[in-house]
Chain A
Amino acid sequence: MQANAKITPSTLSVKDHPWRIAWSRDKCSLCGQCTAVCPVNAIELGVFRKRIVDVEIHAAAQPGNVNKVYHGIRQRTDAAYHCIGCGMCAMVCPNDAIMPYHNDEADKLRFHLSQGGQAERRGGRRNAPAGILDQIKFTRISMLTDPALDAGRHEFEMRTLLGRLLPPEENMKRVREHGWIPPVREIYPLIIGGMSFGALSPPMWEGLQMGVAYLNEEMGMPVCISTGEGGCPPRLLRSRFLRYVILQIASGYFGWDEIIHAIPEMKVDPCAIEIKYGQGAKPGDGGLLMWHKVNDLIAAIRGVPKGVSLPSPPTHQTKYSIEEAVAKMIQSMYMAWGFRVPVYPKISATSTSLAVLNNLTRNPYAAGLAIDGEDGGTGAAYNVSLDHMGHPIASALRDCYLNLVRLGQQNEIPLFAGGGIGKNGNLAANAAALIMLGASGVQVGKYVMQAAAGCLGSETRRCNICNIGLCPKGITSQDPRLYRRLDAEDVAQRVVDMYVSFDTELRKIVAPLGRSTSLPIGMSDALGIADKAAADRLQIQYVV
């Protein structure tokens, strides 16, 4: 700081930032790669002046001092250029000379991100690393009477159903009378949740699609993927791979002009249609694609002008209420594909989830309900929505499942849970816990970005700049200079790795529980938790 510099309320020091760059003058070769790679220009070449006391070994000369200059890396302290802790500088440094560290106390930066009255927006998840899902244990291990199964050698049926199931008697009647039976898809219970083309870069999207196609066609795993709200590339719409794709429609209807026009040319039906009413990361708020990312390609696919922010409204504007929206939109979507494609809504977990579910139980077309919990990720949202809005997935899902049990419809409207599954890397354990609490399957997004593309974001405020198109890994960027860092083939390979290892882990969980003939949906007697209040709330065993 200059001696005469003004100290304003928002003048911060390195101490006030969440991340502090540690740089070693000894190791640094001044190659400049770190400053080049930093997505937010938080570091720059610094010129440092240093006084050195110069004492001659011979007493003849008078001691003195010399002023020298050296060059190095300086962390900028302006709030607009704050370090996001992504660590790309450490990744590219040839000499391991630089690394961001968390500061030792809560930062002061957070009080100054509102420059110009602009509330903080970011990507990622709620900044809260812990969660109840990781506390749930699988306690009902088969021992003497009922020997555990062999996860490696026995046959396992780990698929689930997406679609409205009729009561068995009614289904039999319709089979006999050749009546209409709602379409049902037999799918893998781990679904790649909605991440739009636009939110994700082209190689990321392509890599996910390739991975999903490979899993289906080479590995025999009927994995499906939701498009998110951003339309679908025209060639995919007209390809046989569409059958693995869940087309999402949300309140902005982005890309649906293209989709509707492609219907007559579709070779196969899509897996399902997901109507997004809400998202766990920003419940009650609409989708958001910030202008940084709306380039020619994205604008073309979405059918919008380029270079403008694309906020979807919080609700479907053409509809009066969610009940009406659900009923009418489900009906319209069924009609568009000749009643051959399951259509289900996705909502954010809320204390009113039950009201939506009850509504669906009386709607004979609703093919399921996806519920997204507060720990879900997003490409862009207001920080306040991310950190403070929403409902945990575990109890929302459990309430809904138990409500279906009371109604006797637990096999009829499959529930899909999302939001923070695998947040701490425990994907299979979290997924299995939710399945045993009553989910027919789970949706993951952020985990896939982390596992398949090396997303650096975390719940301790690392990176999370998906919103501004500067993703240092090229996952959520539309800038070719950034997304060329990501190879679609590599992403596809990692998607396959992720699924195959998930499958092994899922078997390693269900085999000791003596389950293999069907996915253990609602097998709550297998679960335990060392938290009495949580155990009571979720109606599972309290174990200490």
Chain B
Amino acid sequence: MCRLIAITSDTPQSPMKALEALDVMREGHDGSGVGLFLRDLGGPLEEMKDEPILSGIFTEAGIRRLDSYMINMGFLTKYKISIKIPKVPPAGVPKRDMYLIRAYEYPEEWEDLVEAEKQQRLVNIRLALQEMGREQQDMIVFSFWPDTIMIKEIGDPLTVGKYLELGNEKLNARIIMAQGRQNTNYAINLYACHPFFIQGFSTMTNGENTAFVPIREYLSSRGEPGYTGFYSDSEVFVHILHYTATHLGLGVEAYKHVITPLQDADLESHPNGEFLTHLKRTCRKLIIDGPNCVIGVLPDNTMFMTQDRKKLRPGVVGGTHGTWVFSSEVCGLDYVLPGRDKYTDFQPMHLDTAVVRPDRREVKICRQMQRLPRLH
């Protein structure tokens, strides 16, 4: 089992806070990896919300190849956050040449592009870079998207955080998702490390998706270049989220209806029963299975947590106006927000999706038996 912590706060927080919370929950992860997703950035990158930021790990040769590739594409570096790393990495952490966080200016010819086209091109560039990296083993690219930083590394989360000096204020962010990994089913591969990301959507999961293979097969044929990789059975959660929002035009309330639909008896009495029956049938191949607690972020910075059909994994949401924490364990939440009113903590059950909108005023609980917002 892995451990998850996600913070959404009006004031930018240090990623170290999340890593320290993971350390509190360390019984549940074995130090085989850590993943960080930062969004709604504070620090210097706050000034350049629209510029795409490339996050990844590069060798010396890889960075040269990256530069020539990006220059050819017409991208100019606008800002970079340097991560200074000691010569010798701590035990269990591989030696790398460079961790890159670099904001680019769009090429001039992109100016007139519609947003969708621009987004698609950003995805294609990320995929191309990942492919180049796989060929020469010289670059690992996590994300290339505005207002988004991702860092993943093998090792104990807190050790990695200190080693990379992630306490650097430049990395503070209003949305932080972090996962401490317990590597279970596959070889350690950074691309298999949560959170996963596609076009502004990100998810991380504590669990195991036993319906992975049929879902992967179905997603692979949706004609989305970004539905690829599949290094982890949890990666499909972010693709399904993306599919639900962008292909079906449905909100976060519908996500749970896609991944764990209601049974027929419940659908019969549901105010949106007919619509949901259609959704259940046509998206049958996207139904997940197994124990899973999913925490995710939408492009508008909405954060949510939802559970598998049987709620086989823990998960809790707590906080106050302006700051909410989603955690796989109560002790992680306690560490980040010790002073909160614990009686208002919420643990989503098998029908629930807990949602905190970008205004961070409240936790809204969407129950599957409730009426869906009016469809547009």
Contacts and interface: CB of A to CB of B under 8 A. Distances in A.
Same complex for A and B? Answer yes
A161 B281 contact: yes
A515 B213 contact: no
Interface in B275-330: 275, 278-279, 281-285, 287-291, 308-310, 312
Interface stretch (B31-39, B72-80, B94-102, B204-212): B204-212
A122 B283 CA distance: 45
B169 to A, nearest CB: 37
A176 B376 CA distance: 9
Interface string B264-279: 1000000000010011
A145 B1 contact: yes
Interface string A141-167: 010111101000011010101000111
Interface in A503-544: 513-518, 520-525
A411 B285 contact: yes
Interface stretch (A37-45, A101-109, A123-131, A401-409): A401-409
Contacts of B223: 408
B289 A515 contact: yes
B289 A517 contact: yes
Contacts of A175: 275, 278
Given A408-B223, A517-B260, A155 B309 contact: yes
Given A154-B310, A176-B375, A517-B288, A166 B282 contact: yes
A217 interface: no
B284 A514 contact: no
A184 B281 contact: yes
Contacts of B275: 175
A514 B208 contact: yes
B336 to A, nearest CB: 25
B284 A169 contact: no
Contacts of B310: 149, 154-155, 516
Interface stretch (B54-62, B194-202, B214-222): B214-222
B263 interface: yes
Contact of A168 (B182, B185, B210, B279): B279
A340 B222 CA distance: 28
A405 B184 CA distance: 28
A518 B221 contact: no
B114 interface: no
A158 to B, nearest CB: 11
B249 interface: yes
Given A515-B211, A516-B309, A410 B218 contact: yes
A522 B214 contact: yes
Interface string A380-411: 00000000000000000000000001111111
Which secondary structure characterizes the binding site on chain B? Answer: loop
Given A146-B208, A516-B289, A517-B260, A523 B214 contact: yes
Contact of B221 (A154, A184, A408, A520): A408
A406 B221 contact: yes
A92 interface: no
B247 interface: yes
Contacts of B247: 168-169
Interface residues of B, number: 40
Contacts of B264: 159, 186
A521 B285 CA distance: 8
Contacts of A523: 210-211, 213-214
Contacts of A524: 213
Interface string B5-17: 0000000000000
Contacts of A405: 217-218, 221
A133 B151 CA distance: 47
Contacts of A518: 211, 284, 287, 289
B248 interface: yes
Interface in B219-257: 221-223, 247-249
A159 B210 CA distance: 18
Contacts of B207: 145-146
Contacts of A354: none
Nearest to B207: A146
A-B interface, 8 closest residue pairs, ranked by CB to CB distance from nearest: A408-B221, A514-B210, A146-B208, A522-B214, A518-B287, A168-B282, A411-B285, A171-B282
Given A184-B281, A405-B221, A514-B289, 11 more contacts: A142-B290, A145-B207, A165-B282, A172-B249, A410-B214, A410-B221, A411-B283, A515-B289, A517-B309, A521-B285, A524-B213
Interface of B: 1, 182, 184-185, 207-208, 210-214, 217-218, 221-223, 247-249, 260, 263-264, 275, 278-279, 281-285, 287-291, 308-310, 312, 375
21 contacts: A142-B208, A142-B210, A146-B208, A147-B291, A154-B310, A165-B282, A165-B284, A169-B248, A172-B249, A175-B278, A411-B218, A411-B283, A513-B210, A514-B208, A517-B287, A518-B284, A518-B289, A521-B214, A522-B213, A522-B217, A523-B211
